[in-house]
Amino acid sequence: MHAQPVDVHGKPYNRTIMIVLILVATFAGVLMQTSLGTAIPTLMDAFDINLATAQQATTWFLLANGIMIPVSAYFTSRIPTKWLYLIAFGLLWAGMAITAFTPEQHDMWWMFLSGRVLAALGVGISMPLMQVVMVNIFPAEQRGVAMGLGGLVVGMAPAIGPTLSGWILDKNHVILGLTISDSWRSIFYLPMAVLAIVFILSFFFMKDVLYTHDVKLDVLSLIYSIIGFGSFLLGFTNVGSDGWGDVKTVIAPIVIGIIFIAIFIVRQLHLTDPFLNVRVFMNKQFTITTIAVMMAMMAMMGVEMMLPTYLQNIHNLSALTSGLILLPGALMMGIMSPIAGMAYDKVGARRLALVGFGLLAIGTVPFMFLTADTPIHFITALYTARMFGVAMVMMPLTASAMSALPAAEANHATASNNTARQLASAVVVALLTSITQNIITNNKPSDALRTANPLSYGAKMIDASMDGFQVSFFIGFLFAAIGLVIALFLRKGKIIADETTDEMTKEN
């Protein structure tokens, strides 16, 4: 029987209730990343804005979230766990409320975006903090299960977001006796209610489980981090709309971001108490595992990002229907994440990564040959199989990365791992969007054909679109194949870092 867990003050606490509160609240927050995807047309009508402006609802959320993740390591080291979670939950709830109650006026769009940024700051704290807490409150032999539970949040919430919002916008619903209207505001009401309950309960059940120390804030590191990561992510975010040739909005921000990130890294290496300890990458196992996580993320996004567009543009499906088609895959990842975590505790990450990347690569091959007539149920089955592979890779690799370092370094390791994942997502989204759009543009029929022969124009336009989608899916396959090769360099068995030294032990 395991001993009663105690917090940093030596007082016992209920670990189960605390974990449930963390998972539920973080799920509600991560849900906000993608929940407005299917609401973009509704927002365009409500605020009288164009598509590019409406997309800022997601863009600015991801930007603020990406900037906050590197900063989270400092907050975790400085602020007691209970109060840091209360701050994160408070920011998230306040951001949701500001967004939900923004007046539907063109000149009030700034208020909507302000709420999105505020919510993103909360998620940027709570998501990496969740992983640090999991590493510290579970013993090393149960760390896989802990990270698997975290996978329910990291994996399922973004995938369910579009489906949930599409369902809400489809028609009125009655939940627990309350009528949820089909307004875009309703997307925020349910998460706000859940988060309010969690916030109140956190005063009683959230405990200080991470040791803090009086670390001085290095203002220059904070400035370099915000400018570097913010500018880099902004440049890649603009690629989809402006293309790679735009110096002002794409190339310049990316170059500026790289320069400031380099300056940031050099400064961290010379600080006695760094803002973000990039020395964690000197641990070979952590670095290899983090690169493998990036490949898994890019392979997953290679299909996940383009598939809804394929379903809507080629099969003429609604946003809700396309979201429902992908829902089994999201559920599969949610089911398999804890199971993969338990498997990691027994066999380590290498075997699971080889199997997962293998399934991911094999499951991606058929997507390279999709046509306009491919049956929907076949696409659902393929996508579900891919998400099975992603679950076999993502959580075991994340647990392995965290286990490769002592628990005392978990806050820096988590921030570094999540930052790398965020950068990988931004790069692959920009890469695939630009490549797909360029192929479609170069292969689409002439405008003259639209007037002369509309049917032929439509058929050729579908062919041009399919060429773009197929190349995008092929790139997703390449990332899975690269991940498979990288997995060969992972150490066999389960890796557990010595808590008193930098050495690692290996089980199995």
Q: How far is CA 353 from CA 244, 293, 298, 344, in A?
A: 33, 10, 15, 10
* pLDDT confidence band for 52 (50 / 70 / 90): low
pLDDT at 98 over 80: yes
Of 110 and 460, the one with more pLDDT: 110
Q: What is the pLDDT of residue 176?
A: 47
CA distance 301 to 324: 18
Beta strands 504-507; 494-497: pairing state: antiparallel
- Looking at the domain that runs over 277-508, which CATH code has it been given? 1.20.1250.20
Helical (H) or strand (E) element with 93 = helix 81-100
- Provide the mean pLDDT of the chain: 82
Give the pLDDT confidence of 53-94 residue by residue, as tens digits: 776 787 788 778 878 878 888 888 889 999 999 999 999 999
Give the pLDDT confidence of 357-373 residue by residue, as tens digits: 999 999 999 998 888 88
Helical (H) or strand (E) element with 505 = strand 504-507
CA distance 206 to 465: 51
By mean pLDDT, which of 147-161, 205-219, 490-504 is the weakest? 490-504
Please report, as a single letter, which amino acid is at residue 97: A
Q: What is the pLDDT of residue 159?
A: 67
By mean pLDDT, which of 89-98, 128-137, 392-401, 433-442 is the weakest? 433-442
DSSP state, 250? I
Give the pLDDT confidence of 441-482 residue by residue, as tens digits: 788 887 777 777 777 877 888 888 888 888 888 998 999 999
Contacts of 161 by beta carbon, 8 Å cutoff, 6+ apart: 31, 32, 33, 34, 35, 37
Q: Reduced to 3 states, what is the DSSP secondary structure of residue 204?
A: helix
Q: What is the pLDDT of residue 192?
A: 92
Give the pLDDT confidence of 186-233 residue by residue, as tens digits: 888 888 999 999 999 999 999 999 888 877 888 899 899 889 988 988
By mean pLDDT, which of 55-64, 102-111, 219-228, 491-500 is the weakest? 491-500
Could you give the angle at the alpha carbon of 492 between the alpha carbons of 490 and 498, nearest 5°? 90
* Backbone angles phi and psi of 445, in degrees to 5: -70, 165
Please give the biggest Cα pair distance in the chain.
Answer: 80
For 123, other C-beta atoms within 10 Å of its C-beta total: 27
Q: What is the pLDDT of residue 201?
A: 96
Q: What is the pLDDT of residue 333?
A: 80
Q: What is the pTM of this model?
A: 0.77
Side-chain-facing half-sphere of 468: CA atoms under 13 Å? 27
Q: What is the pLDDT of residue 502?
A: 46
Q: How far is CA 84 from CA 43, 74, 89, 290, 302, in A?
A: 33, 11, 9, 26, 35
* pLDDT confidence band for 45 (50 / 70 / 90): confident
Of 504 and 3, the one with more pLDDT: 3
For residues 33 and 123, the answer to whether their CB atoms sit within 8 Å is yes
Closest CA to 195 of 88, 65, 93, 119: 93
CA distance 71 to 74: 6
Which 3-state string (H, E, C) describes 344-391? HHHHEHHHHHHHHHHHHHHHHHHHHHCCCCCCHHHHHHHHHHHHHHHH
Question: Exposure pattern of 241-271 as b/e (b: 16+ CB <10 Å)?
Answer: bbeeeeeebbbebbebbeebbebbeebbeee
Any bridge partners for residue 497, and if so which? 504
By mean pLDDT, which of 19-28, 109-118, 339-348 is the weakest? 339-348
* Backbone angles phi and psi of 185, in degrees to 5: -65, -30
CA distance 84 to 37: 29
Which 3-state string (H, E, C) describes 441-462? HHHCCCHHHHHHCHHHHHHHHH
CA distance 241 to 262: 27
* Backbone angles phi and psi of 455, in degrees to 5: -65, -45
Q: Reduced to 3 states, what is the DSSP secondary structure of residue 254?
A: helix
CA distance 147 to 172: 36
Q: What is the pLDDT of residue 497?
A: 54
* pLDDT confidence band for 96 (50 / 70 / 90): very high
Any bridge partners for residue 173, and if so which? 180
**The CATH number of 1-211 is which of 3.40.50.2300, 2.50.20.10, 3.40.50.300, 1.20.1250.20?**
1.20.1250.20
Note the residue count of the chain. 508
Of 173 and 278, the one with more pLDDT: 278
* pLDDT confidence band for 506 (50 / 70 / 90): low
Contacts of 279 by beta carbon, 8 Å cutoff, 6+ apart: 268, 269
For residues 460 and 366, the answer to whether their CB atoms sit within 8 Å is no
Of 399 and 319, the one with more pLDDT: 399
* Backbone angles phi and psi of 175, in degrees to 5: -125, 120
List, in sequence order, every beta strand (DSSP E) within 226-329: none
